[in-house]
Structure 1
Amino acid sequence: MSEQSIPAPPFEVADRPPSRTPSASATSDAPSDTRSDAPLSRQRVIPLRHPGRWIATAVVLVLVAQFAHGLVTNPFYQWGRFQYWFARPVILQGLLVTLEVAALSAVLGLVGGIVLALMRQSRNPILRAVSWTYIWLFRSVPLIVVLLVLYNFSALYKTLSLGVPFGPGFVHFNESALATDLVVATLGLSLNEAAYAAEVVRSGILSVDQGQHEAAAALGLPRGYQFRRIVLPQALRAIVPAYVNQLIGLIKGTSLVFYVSLLDLFGEVQNMGSTYPGDVVPLLLVATVWYVVLTSVVSVVQFYVERHYSRGALRTVPPTPLQRLRVSLRQLRERADFGSTVNS
């Protein structure tokens, strides 16, 4: 058989474009942590640069450092006198009065707020009208006006009595002897607090899904049982953050009871400032620090209460500050181990 000629290819091998695949020597010269064929454990992810974020951080740190330096070195603050007054018995006595008034007003205000919120949700038009009027009135009148009206209440009603409505009274009380400074301050703060707490509680009740109310009603559960065991536990998720914020405002609002002759923390600071005019600034700093301590304690309690009631709503419970610190330390340790592995 005669040898057949093989047709030539359409292009020569020499005319093929050079391959874009890097040579073995070029591949071997690349760093091991940037090669695409390197193990995932040895590949390093280069984060995106954010120069604006670093500039903003540097500016903030400089401003904070300047403020701290001025706070420490300025002799106007008189930190020696601050240390002298911070734990004096007269200051601690005023602090105890502040805690007593705030605790009583918070409890009474919350109870009154729950009652007013239930009245707003009632089907009785009289109860709804009375509740709405109360909330509207006390949210419109400043707290200092409420305290001063109660403090001068004896000028309007010298005696109080219990008996037949619009008829004779059987038991009479002397208003001036009954309404002490502590009672007037607590009552005024409680009446004012109940108006705001009512709206907080009502908003929490409205946040509960309507299907929960319908399901409870379909089971034939009493309305009181529905509210205690089904509605209220779910409403607390929305009530707690708002009411704790209101509670912080109440703690700061106790400084107004000084105007009804009750010497709380701010009242004692005012008295000592009048007696020692040169110590006004350190005394005000003492009051400021104590108020910051009280509100910080309330904020910590708020975090753990919110964490408790979030268990049924979130997949994972928010970590505590200690748990966050542990996670941050573990991440730093892992980064350090990774850097040492890459360098080796």
Structure 2
Amino acid sequence: MAVSTPTRTGTQASDIKYDAGTLRVIRRRHPWRWVSAIVVLGLCTGLVYALAGTPNIRWNEVGHYLTEDSILTGIRLTVVLTVAAQGIGVIGGIILAVMRGSDNPVLRAAGAAYLWIFRGTPALIQIILWYNLALVFPTVSLHIPFTSLGFSSPTNSLITPVTAAIIALGLNEAAYMAEIVRGGLISVEQGQHDAAGAIGMSRGKAMRYVILPQALRTIIPPTGNELINMLKSTSLVSVIAAQELLTASQHIYAVNFLTVELLIVASLWYLAMSTLASIGQGYLERRLQVVLRVRPKSWTSRLLAHTGQLTRTIGRRTS
């Protein structure tokens, strides 16, 4: 008589052993899993109890200052700095990535030099340098040659703390976004480039209509991470007294000496904004995956696919 071996769905094979006499399924025990879980829960409980029970943190003040007017004003400026600087970074990153992949050696060298400078120096130094640009150029002048059109203005009136923060953070972010975009462009197979050229597309049109849309799937996730990092990097502009969230908190605790409480307030708001950005990133990624998966292919997409396949076939035969 044949004896069938019992199975259990949802159980890993490594967690099951069999008794040779009765063929009973015996679940393997993992005591160290429980021990490690109890240790972690104990540490977390102790930390929460210590923070909640210490008399050195006035939690009622934390709740009071969460919605204080200057804190909310700082949050608005933090969001403005994040959006503006990230926008500059994305646009600049695309331009730099195209320059890095250009056949022109001057453009390639310029793009590489930009990345070398802005990735090799701290963002804090760049912020301070832009804020003190008037020490190098006291006035900013722009004149159209052979005409009387132009303007001249003191640098300090143009480069305010907010302007310096946006420029410095945006240009610094462009260097990192350039590598993200370049990685996304590299992820698109060469056959797509060849197919776009085979149907008469210029390099610019192929990049705009064929390569970049396919590279978005690779570009979006790290860009979301860069946005969250930019949100936290705005705290660096406190050194030039831009009235963002951290600076607003510093101004308050410089008066009432509630240093820890105000830093907790700032941290809670940064956590809340980072969480919202993470939720938006996840939604955008899922939406992009659905669009790319269910969108019907246009005749240009089908033509590109067939042309790319034909190009690869011819290449294999000739080689």
TM-score tier, shorter chain, comes to: 0.7 to 0.9
**Equivalent residue for 1:245?**
225
Distance of 1:108 and 1:46 partners within structure 2: 60
Which segment drifts farther, 89-98 or 156-165? 156-165
Look up the equivalent residue of 1:306 and give its one-letter code.
E
Q: 1:309 aligns with which of 281, 288, 299?
A: 288
Whether 1:124 and 2:84 are equivalent positions in the alignment is no
CA shift for structure 1 position 46: 5.4
Q: Which stretch has the larger CA shift, 215-224 or 282-291?
A: 215-224
CA distance in 2, matches of 1:242, 1:231: 18
Per the alignment, in what secondary structure is the counterpart of residue 250 of structure 1? helix
Q: Which residue in the other structure is 2:307 paired with? A: none
1:110 — aligned with what?
A: 90
Q: Distance in 1 between matches of 2:148 and 2:5?
A: 99
* AA in 2 matched with 1:287: A
Matched, 1:235 2:204: no
Report the CA distance between 1:206 and its aligned residue: 0.8
Instruction: Give the residue type in structure 2 aligned to 1:148.
Output: I
Deviations 1:88-124 (A, max 9, x none): 1111011111111111001111111111111111111
**Match for residue 297 of structure 1?**
276
Question: Does residue 201 in structure 1 map to residue 186 in structure 2?
Answer: no
- Kindly indicate whether residue 263 of structure 2 is the aligned counterpart of residue 284 of structure 1: yes
Structure 2's unaligned 5+ residue stretches are 10-23, 295-319
SS in structure 2 at match of 1:76:
coil
Letter in 2 for 1:212: Q
Deviation of the 1:37 alpha carbon: 10
Change in 2 beyond 3 A, CA 1:232/1:46 = farther
- What residue is the counterpart of 1:8 in the other structure? none
Give the letter aligned to residue 275 of structure 1. Answer: V
Say which of 232, 235, 241 aligns to 1:255. Answer: 235
Q: 1:259-303 CA distances to partner (integer Å, 9 max, x unpaired)? A: 1121110001111111011x1111010001011111111111111
**Match for residue 202 of structure 2 among 222, 226, 229:** 222
CA displacement at 1:313 relative to structure 2: 7.6
Q: For residue 119 of structure 2, what is the aligned residue in structure 1?
A: 139
What are the Cα deviations for residues 127-177 of structure 1, in whole angstroms up to 9, with x where unaligned? 111111011101111111111111111121112222367x99843232221
Percent identity, please: 37
| One-letter code aligned to 1:206 | I
Query: Which amino acid is 1:221 matched to?
Result: M
Q: Which residue of 1 aligns with 2:248?
A: 268
* Alpha-carbon distance in 1 for matches of 2:272, 2:129: 31
Instruction: Look up the SS of the partner of 1:49 in the other structure.
Output: coil
Query: Does 2:59 match 1:75?
Result: no
Displacement of 1:48 after TM fit? 3.5
**1:289 partner letter:** L
Q: Distance in 2 between matches of 1:98 and 1:170?
A: 33
Q: Which runs of 5+ in 1 are unaligned?
A: 1-20, 22-34, 316-344
What is the Cα deviation at residue 309 of structure 1?
2.6
Match of 1:61 among 41, 45, 56: 41
Q: 2: CA distance between counterparts of 1:48 and 1:220?
A: 64
Matched-pair contact (CA < 8 Å) for 1:161–1:169: no
CA distance in 1 between counterparts of 2:119 and 2:53 reads: 44
Q: Provide the rounded CA distance (Å) in 2 between the counterparts of 1:188 and 1:169.
A: 29
d(CA) in 2 for partners of 1:280 and 1:181? 24
Within the alignment, does 1:94 sit opposite 2:74 as a pair? Answer: yes
Q: State how 1:304-343 maps to structure 2 within 5 Å.
A: 304-311=283-290
- RMSD, aligned α-carbons: 2.8
- Work out the number of aligned pairs and report it: 280
Deviations 1:223-244 (A, max 9, x none): 2332222211221122112122
- Match of 2:280, as an amino acid? V
Q: Looking at CA atoms only, which structure, 1 or 2, has the larger radius of gyration?
A: 1
3-state SS of 1:173 partner: strand
1:220 counterpart SS class: coil
Amino acid at match of 2:273: L
